[in-house]
Amino acid sequence: MLNPDTARLLINIIREGKKNPRVIMLGHLSSQRNKPKIAIREKTTAFKKAGIEMSYELKTAPLKECSEVVPLSF
């Protein structure tokens, strides 16, 4: 999935969801074509253009190591 596609998906989740997420972790970033800073910048820009506040923490999973644990709550 490309950065703009992911941004649209996240915007739809925020618009349609009953409860906003506290943390979103982006995973499977390409080591050659995408970097964490680029992915986060693309999402932040898309949210600003859509007029939606990013009320959650946006993280990226490391490429070749374990990520931190992100607790789930329902």
- Cα-only R_g, the chain: 12
Tokens of residue 32, six digits? 């050659």
Q: Mind listing the pLDDT tens digit for each residue in 44-69? A: 999 999 999 888 888 988 888 888 88
When divided into structural domains, the chain yields a total of 1
Tokens of residue 49, six digits? 């253009």
Compute the mean pLDDT over every residue in the chain, rounded to the nearest whole number: 87
Domain extent, residue 27, equals 3-60
What is the secondary structure of 5-26 as a DSSP string?
HHHHHHHHHHHH-SS--SEEEE
In a domain, 56, yes or no: yes
Tell me, rounded to whole angstroms, the distance of Cα 17 from its chain centroid. 15
In a domain, 72, yes or no: no
User: If you average pLDDT over residues 2-16, what whole number do you get?
Assistant: 90
Residue 38 is which amino acid?
I
Q: Is pLDDT of 74 > 70? A: no
In a domain, 68, yes or no: no
